[in-house]
Amino acid sequence: MKRTFVTLLMAIGFVAFTQAQTPNTVTVDANSGSKIKFDKVEHNFGKISEGTQATVTFTFTNTGTEPLVLTSVRASCGCTTPKWTKEPVAPGQTGEITAIYNSKGRPGNFTKTITVKYNGEAGTEFLTIRGFVETTPRETPPPVANPQ
């Protein structure tokens, strides 16, 4: 009886050990899912006047086989406002992300990043806008005459 019990215990241990050593793998078809392809990922506004609302639209295409959903679109600072296609983009269809940069009170060079998160294979893409804000001349108040 004791020998049968030990043999049974060893058999259970062997099965448990071999199962623990078997890797759990999931095969994913590289051609399935949603994929995003942008027409461009960077835009240079060049020189713009201070106070301008500089706007650019980035167009993307879903080159995958499943609907593409943008889960998050965030700018690197509050001076840039992104707007984007909210509904799922079918395979082969296009969507847009518009970036609006507010240059008021921000003279000089700028480089801003828009982080795009989506349900595709890579999951994250980065868009960049840059340019130079020229300072607008400030009006000087007229001199005040002192009545003395």
The residues facing 128 across adjacent strands are 42, 113
Does this model's pTM top 0.85? My answer is no
Q: Which two tokens stand for residue 106?
A: 């921000």
> Phi then psi for 15, rounded to 5 degrees?
-65, -45
Render each residue's pLDDT in the chain as its tens digit; 148 residues: 667 656 665 666 666 655 554 444 333 444 558 999 999 999 999 999 999 999 999 999 999 999 999 999 999 999 999 999 999 999 999 999 999 999 999 999 999 999 999 998 889 999 999 999 999 776 666 666 666 6
**Cβ-contact 75, 114 below 8 angstroms:** yes
Q: What are the structural domains of the chain?
A: 36-134 (2.60.40.10)
Q: Which of the 8 DSSP states describes residue 13?
A: H
Q: Which of the 8 DSSP states describes residue 89?
A: B
Going by C-alpha positions, the residue among 56, 51, 138, 137 that lies closest to residue 102 is 51
Going by C-alpha positions, the residue among 69, 130, 132, 127 that lies closest to residue 98 is 127
